[in-house]
Amino acid sequence: MAHLSLNKCMRNKITLNGVNKTHLYEKEINMFEEKKAEGKKMLVSRRQLLVGAGATVAFGAAASFLPKVVTNAAAATKTTVCKKYSFETPPAPIPASQIKTKKSADVVVLGAGLGGLCAAYAAADKGAKVVLLEKRKTFTFHGGWNASLDDRLHKSNNIVIPKDRWMAEIMRFGAYNANAKLIKLWLDEHGRIMNKILDMADAAKIKYFVDTNNKSYWPYTEYPSAIQFLPGWNYTLCGLLEKNIKEKGVDLLYETPAVQLIRKHKKGKVTGVVAKGKDGYVQVDAAKGVIICSGGYTNNREMLEKYSPRCLKITGNGYPEGSDTGDGILMGMWIGGAKQETDAPMLWDGFSTVPGGFRDSVVNLTRQPFLNVNLLGERYMNEDAPFGFTANQDMRQPESKKWTVWDANWDADKDKLHGTVCENMVKTPLWSNKDYEKFKNKGIIVEADTLEGLADNMKVPRDTFIATVKRYNQLVQKAVDDDFGKDSVKLTAIVKPPFGAGITGAGLLVTMDGLRINTDLQVLDTEGKPIPGLYAAGNASGDFFSNDYPITTTGVSHGRAYTFGWLAGEKAAELKG
């Protein structure tokens, strides 16, 4: 294959297939030299250029290679030479003299979210002595859809979800970057565990049901996988688990964040954790294992910058409590653990754009696939996509924001719209239309009797907006979305005043790319070998999701958390100390 070689002295030795072609790039070389002479910082030294560009560039890129090489070199220099993040330097071990309290357990669990609560319960249920460390004053819960296919509730309702389709769906969303064996593990084990959770709910007289409010439209299929617990959704579920772990004798320490894992020898076992209690450091020795369930890194800006830079464009964050700062992932990496290579953010398209964030999201109306326009008044996508995909598109727009536009027919239109995946929230108890006036007062929703007036209230350019609506109404008339391919059923005209619009931004719910694990839930080191005594589950673990969240397999983030947390608890408890 033809190659272009960049050697030490660029002026003398730019060769294509061994032939010196330096003269072809004389102009660019001179330009480079001039800029270098000006001392412009953005240009890298010749040596850095060579390092950043690498020694070999594909021949097809040769025609415009030099400016490109400079650009690439600058980018490569930025990431490979200059930037070192503070978390990349492991902290010095906390000296024994600073440990105020010592405890011992068979199993220590970090984090009282859904994953950690399940891990602690399962380990205690197997007879292990368990300590559960939590950073916050209470447990963490979010949402309420908990995926399951193979449980007694689905069976008694004759709801059958093909496992092969489910597997294919998760792999497809993840562009086949996930570890299919972990998804198989989930498929094989979750039903047994969900049945135990349902037993627990029955004993506490907690009601639950399968959400069957799904639909299938090309090109997506929604699966009726999610079980919800009433009345408080996952507040109910996590509260139930907390009650049960206390009854099992788990030592639950709130406001006690884990800060370091104890691994005395490079290839040895993890033997415990150091945490920070109110009165100083606490060392908890773990005879059998430590399970990291401390969630993702939604609130760690440096980690987002390194591992999922697209998330820096978000307008809101779904973990307002701020505790998901990647602690467990970092602690694992500091003692040799490896992180998933790709990112896996769960992005969401319905965030409020005003301070106050998530709770002010205009989900009822803006999550329907009405016409969407950016701050320039332009339409830019098929509005009927899974919410992570929509968020990706929103983040390509100015300020990552958009207006959803409707007309006086919105109430009649919304039922037929039923946007793809998790968007038919109009009828759910989680949010209600009574907030409409509140949103209007905050300027999140605007109204007008004319499209011109609406454009002014939205602060988008009038002419562009009017042209956008006109074009959209033409597509509605034709019943084919020639511009962005939206399902024709969801093309609804913007014709009848009064008109309305709501502004939202793309936000980050959680990150799901944590520490690499094997099917025994053991954390893997950078050579792919399990680290003895160390497990991870939930969002602190990795290789299950990639790129985006497969929302069509509804509730599978909670599905992974409860299943893998539970399995990790069982595996650690069963280990011989």
Ligand X SMILES: Cc1cc2nc3c(=O)[nH]c(=O)nc-3n(C[C@H](O)[C@H](O)[C@H](O)COP(=O)(O)OP(=O)(O)OC[C@H]3O[C@@H](n4cnc5c(N)ncnc54)[C@H](O)[C@@H]3O)c2cc1C
Q: Give contact residues for ligand X (rule: CB under 6 A).
A: 110-116, 133-136, 140, 142-145, 257-258, 293-295, 318-319, 323-324, 327, 509-510, 538-539, 555-558, 561
C-alpha–C-alpha distance, residues 498 and 501, integer Å: 10
Q: Which is nearer to ligand X, 169 or 481 (CB)?
A: 169
> For residues 511 and 149, what is the distance between their CA atoms, to the nearest angstrom?
24
Q: Which is nearer to ligand X, 42 or 99 (CB)?
A: 99
Report the residue number, 145 or 472, with the smaller CB distance to ligand X.
145
CA proximity to 234, closest of 324, 320, 128, 147: 147
> Taking the complex as a whole, how short is the minimal distance between the CB of residue 332 and ligand X, in angstroms?
11
- As a 3-state breakdown, the chain gives helix, strand, coil percent values, each rounded to 5, of 40, 20, 40
For the CB of residue 551, give the shortest distance to ligand X in the complex, in Å: 9
Minimum distance between the CB of residue 277 and ligand X, rounded to whole angstroms?
Answer: 11
Nearer to ligand X, 394 or 481 (CB): 394
8 Å CB contact between 142 and 234: yes
* H-type alpha helices, 39-96: 46-53, 65-76
Per-residue burial over 542-567, b = 16 or more CB atoms within 10 Å of its CB, e = otherwise = bbbbbbbbbbbbbbbbbbbbbbbbbb
Query: To the nearest whole angstrom, how small is the minimum distance from the Cβ of residue 396 to ligand X?
Result: 23
Provide, rounded to whole angstroms, the least separation between the CB of residue 331 and ligand X.
Answer: 7
In angstroms, what is the minimal distance from the CB of 125 to ligand X?
Answer: 18
Q: Of 26, 31, 66, 28, nearest to 50 (Cα)?
A: 66
Written as six digits, the tokens of 198 are 């349902």
Q: How far is the CB of 358 from ligand X (least distance, A)?
A: 6
Place of tokens 């004798």: 249
Min dist. Cβ of residue 203 to ligand X (A): 23
Between 191 and 461, name the residue whose CB sits nearer to ligand X: 191
Least separation, in Å, of the C-beta of 288 and ligand X?
19
How far apart are the C-alpha atoms of 20 and 6, rounded to whole Å? 11
Count, residues in the chain:
577
- Whole-Å CA distances, 467 to 164, 376, 417, 464, 475: 46, 12, 23, 5, 12
In the bound state with ligand X, the residue whose beta carbon lies nearer, of 28 and 134, is 134
Residue that the structure tokens 């239309």 belong to: 433
Which burial class, exposed, middle or buried, applies to 522 when counting CB atoms under 10 A from its CB (0-12, 13-18, 19+)?
A: buried
- Taking the least distance from each CB to ligand X, the nearer of 10 and 130 is 130
* Pick 317 or 492: Cβ nearer ligand X: 317
Please identify, using beta-carbon distances, which residue of 367 and 486 lies nearer to ligand X: 367
Q: What is the signed CA dihedral for 525, 531, 537, 540, rounded to 10 degrees?
A: -40
The smaller minimum CB distance to ligand X, of residues 125 and 483, is found at: 125
- Residue 523, judged by CB atoms within 10 A of its CB (0-12, 13-18, 19+), counts as buried
Closest CB 436 distance from ligand X, rounded Å: 21
